[in-house]
Structure 1
Amino acid sequence: MNIRQKWLLAALAAALTLGAGIGTASAAKDAPLRAAYVRGGDLWIREGSVERQLTTGQRAAGPKWSFDARWIAYAAGENGRELWVRPAGEGEGHLVSRVAGDRFEWAPSLNRLAYREGNRIDWIDAERPGQPINAASGIGNFSWLPGGGGFVASSESELKPDGGWTPVRILKIPLSAQGDAARFRTLYTLPDRSDDFFAVGTSFFRWSADGRWMAFLAKPTASLSADSNTLCVLSADGSSFQQLDKMAGGEQQFAWAEGDDRLAYIAGEGREATSNKRLETADIPLGRPTIHTPAGFVDQTPAWKGDRRILVSRAREQKEWATEPAKRPFPYLVEVGLRGKRERRVTSPSSAHGDYAPVYLPASRTLAWVRSDRRSADVMIVGAGGGPARVWIRRIDLGANYYEQWNWGAVLQFYEDRRKASR
């Protein structure tokens, strides 16, 4: 049986098992909470109270659900560079690329998976297996357009003989262009290097709810990017560009409100998450930033709960970096209200644990997060009715940690059908 035949059988199996395992589209509104996660290096999924192991011995990382939860893409392999896709129901996983595991993304409304291989954007259709389609070359980073009809991407900057860098352009790339650069549109060219700005690349692009704005990090060279990047906002047509603030390198540190053109982010230079990290919000365009973190504290990983409340992981500030992990403060969760600047503490972990990466899932009105002692981790939830927190998933692998900037997306992703989420 060839690869195409295997993929077709996997697609059929995914469709047939949705009703029993992952839920049909017609029953999506009644589907229980579900997540993909990594335990012991293997990929698992949980739906309600049922767990299922999907891989064995692959060293999985970074699971991502397709828009309808029928497919999961993930990185794997010794160095985490392989890109695999598999049905969330029954069926085998299939290797998509041996070198694309560092950047891949599902389309917002189709089962198309795009990925960066070298400086190219390629994409595949999980429903119609075949050869990958090249969308563009000379690319630094990318994201799907809100409608899924193409990409927004940054051009690849190159070092010039005089020591300078070629400018970074923000491009709109339609799928119909099929790699023809003459059909790409330059939306904006990032500013030249100055005392206040330096960029040789970008992060991915995160769209506002109405698709009018994109937020991204303008990144300098790697060593500088660990400490300072510029958070930028660009309009969809490229006519309006705004620099908001300086941030560390964690791309999980900025998020749009669910229904408004309002951006939450963790401002503050320096790679250490234990100092100079404050939650700010800004209305786009040209809104004056508002600081929400009180003096003596630091925040991480903002998550919106509607359009007027934000959840963050907060800890006491530690001005000097502690080389011993045991001497670094553990965080807890706080809900910040934008009206009246009210806030309340949401969790109270033990002195030996911290609460990280809050996620609010509006369709089920569930708050979820990771509780960890830096050696092990569980996934916690509180449902719509409130009450005490409970462990929903035990023993997931640790997320990526860089100077206490924790990226739990490396081992965990929740799924909800956001089209059915209540606003």
Structure 2
Amino acid sequence: MKKKFFLILIFLLLLPNLAIAKPEPEKVKVAFVRDGFLWTKISGREEKISIKPTKYNEPPQWSHDGKWIVYGVEPKEKLSPNLESQTEIWVYSLETRKHKRITYDGSNPKWSPVENILAFKSGGVLNVSNLDQFYNIALGVGDYNWFPDGRAFITASGASLRPDGWTNPVLYKIGLDKDFSKITSLTKNVKKLYTIPSEIKKGNISLLAIDATNFQFSPDGKWISFMVSPTASWSMDSNMMCVISSDEQTFEVLDEMIWEVDSPKWAFHQNRLGYIAGGGRIVMGFKNKKMKVTELPAYKSISLTPPHFAELGFTWRDDQSVVVSRVNESEWSNDPKQRPDPSLFSIKIGEQTQLQLTHPPKGFGDYHPIYLPSARKLTWVRKKDLAETQRDLWIADSNGENARIWIKNVDGYDFYQGK
């Protein structure tokens, strides 16, 4: 009887600890950079997968099946002393636990959405690699993205300055042959999609169209969103959020945006595009940054941010709601302690009530919310200031409850959510 009593007592003493312990999201893998090393966190276990510290010029990205990670590093010795910067692109296999260099100098790597084929740029050349060797696909390429079927790319050529003025940026579709070794022409599979007007307008705001970037497809693949930017310095203050139909028949300018806030994102299943509208860089003040959602093809836009607040980032939680990183509107201060610190708020489209999900301690803010549908978890970064590089990755239930530090001291990171 005494033995049974002691066993029950021990269980009761352990019960609070068992209640505090939170299970790891089973399907979610994390690749991240910490202190110059590449790490993974899988099934609750952190593992350092690189040997020597280095500078990561490209954040890690998971392949479509979660078996590979691509990353870009700054080499110890450059190919040429005349190169201002150089990025080696590498991949890591979780099955063989080996690293493989794909190219000595590349940028903007992107995995195919359907197979383990990697695209990247080298100068203005678009390349694809089967992870054994790479092949040139097209020339004169700016930013790009894969079509959802993995058989083509959308890209743009930027405008160029000539004696009679600027040319127009042009959108292209680049088809991809299945057998890369038989590619004999870099222009055969290129199709011009749309010539962007040299000047685009929204209301009383107009800008010179120089480049198009950040291509994203709607859930049904019938719409493509992208940013149109002016010259480099001007683009810090003003860019235009645009959409084009995949049949190239409809082009529309939606709103003004800046780069310092989160990129536009489509809802999971409906053709709803979310973005943070408003021009003017953050150093001009934490203001004029409103969360908006536009439904296509109706072009019905709604603003979700109440007066006297500004948004810095957002994530879709489902097709009807978003989570935003929000601050009180204020002027910019050179003293970080005088700048507003954001908290996360939940917004349900069509409802007036907006719920505050997080309450960071004084001097800390919650940034970069990302919702993980497969785990039904909300993640974000908590740090001391907008420009702070020392930051922790937090995780909570979708309603913000049971919040905890998930990974301490992270730099670039990426999630794989399983199938």
Alignment TM class, shorter chain as reference: 0.7 to 0.9
Give the length in aligned residue pairs: 370
- Paired residue for 2:362? 351
SS of residue in 2 equivalent to 1:395 = coil
Q: Secondary structure at the match of 1:223?
A: helix
What CA deviation, in whole Å up to 9, does each residue of 1:332-390 have, x standing for no partner?
Answer: 10111003243211111111111111111111111111111135211111136964201
Match of 1:113 in 2: 118
Check 1:210–1:341 CA distance in 2 against 1; reply closer, same or farther (3 A cut): farther
Counterpart CA distance in 2 for 1:93 and 1:166 is 43
Match of 1:53 in 2: 48
Listed as ranges, the matches of 1:219-234 within 5 Å are 219-234=229-244
| Letter matched to residue 243 of structure 1 | V
Letter in structure 2 aligned against 1:388: N
TM-aligned CA deviation for residue 264 of structure 1: 0.5
Q: Determine the structure 1 residue equivalent to 2:99.
A: 93
Q: Which has the larger radius of gyration?
A: 2
CA distance in 2 between partners of 1:244 and 1:82 (Å): 37
1:4-403 matches, cutoff 5 A: 31-55=26-50, 56-60=52-56, 61-77=58-74, 79=85, 81-101=87-107, 103-126=108-131, 129-130=132-133, 132-162=134-164, 164-176=165-177, 178=183, 179-193=185-199, 196-250=206-260, 252-272=262-282, 274-318=286-330, 320-374=331-385, 375=388, 376-383=390-397, 387-397=401-411
Offset, 1:414: 1.3
Q: After TM superposition, give the deviation of residue 97 of structure 1 in Å.
A: 2.6
Q: Which moved more, 1:79-88 or 1:43-52?
A: 79-88
Q: Which residue of 2 aligns with 1:404?
A: none
Asked if structure 2 preserves the Cα contact closer than 8 Å seen for 1:279 and 1:300, the reply is no
Residues in 2 aligned to 1:327 and 1:89: alpha-carbon distance in whole angstroms: 48
Native 8 Å contact 2:371 2:398 kept in 1: no
Please tell me whether the aligned partners of residues 198 and 210 of structure 2 are also in contact (alpha carbons under 8 angstroms).
Answer: no
Alignment CA distance shift 1:189-1:335 (3 Å) = same
Distance 2:336 2:291 in 1: 24
- How many angstroms apart in 2 are the aligned matches of 1:89 and 1:380? 28
| SS of structure 2 residue aligned to 1:326 | helix
| Residues 255-294 of structure 1, C-alpha deviations (whole Å, 9 max, x = no match) | 0000000000000001117221110111012423211111
Question: Residue type of the partner of 2:255?
Answer: D
Per-residue deviation, 1:81: 2.6
Q: Which amino acid aligns with 2:33?
A: V
In the alignment, the residues of structure 2 paired with residue 137 and residue 49 of structure 1 have an alpha-carbon distance, to the nearest angstrom, of 44
| Worse-matched range after superposition: 291-300 or 31-40 | 31-40
Q: Distance in 2 between matches of 1:392 and 1:194?
A: 44
Measured at CA, do residues 274 and 99 of structure 1 come closer, stay the same or move farther in structure 2, by a change above 3 Å? farther
Aligned 8 A contact 1:140 1:157 in 2: no
Supply the distance in 2 between the matched residues of 1:271 and 1:75 (Cα, whole angstroms): 28
> Which digits, 9 at most, give the CA deviation of each residue in 1:1-36, with x for residues without a partner?
xxxxxxxxxxxxxxxxxxxxxxxxxxxxx9442211
- CA distance 1:254–1:48, change in 2 (3 Å): same
1:218-248: per-residue Cα shift (whole Å, max 9, x none)? 1111001111111000111211111000100
Partner of 2:6: none
Q: For residue 86 of structure 1, report the CA deviation from its aligned partner.
A: 1.4
CA deviation after TM superposition for structure 1 residue 139, in Å: 1.1
The alignment partner of 2:370 has SS state of strand
CA contact (8 A) 2:67 2:93 kept: yes
Q: 1:194 to 1:65 in 2, by over 3 A?
A: closer
Any stretches of 5+ residues in structure 2 without a counterpart?
Answer: 1-24, 76-84
Residue 403 of structure 1 corresponds to none
CA distance in 1, matches of 2:318, 2:324: 14
- Structure ranking higher in helix proportion: 1
| Code of the aligned partner of 2:186 | D
Which residue of structure 1 aligns with residue 11 of structure 2? Answer: none
Alpha-carbon distance, 1:108 to partner = 0.5
Amino acid at match of 2:71: Y
- Structure 2 residue matching 1:351: 3-state secondary structure: coil
Question: How far 1:82 sits from its partner (Å)?
Answer: 2.5
8 Å Cα contact 1:309-1:335 kept in structure 2: yes
**Structure 1 equivalent of residue 3 of structure 2:** none
Corresponding residue for residue 11 of structure 1: none
Q: Deviations over 1:128-183 (max 9, x none)?
A: x12x1111101111100110001001023221123x22211111110029453243
CA distance in 1, matches of 2:109, 2:319: 28
Q: Percent identity?
A: 33
Distance across 2 between alignment mates of 1:311 and 1:152 = 29
Structure 1 runs (4+) greater than 4 angstroms displaced: none
Gaps of 5+ in 1: 1-29, 398-410
Deviates more, 1:356-365 or 1:57-66: 57-66
Q: SS in structure 1 opposite 2:269?
A: coil
The answer to which of 204-213 and 386-395 deviates more is 386-395
Tell me the C-alpha RMSD between the 2 structures: 2.0
* 1:120–1:137 contact (8 Å) kept in structure 2: yes
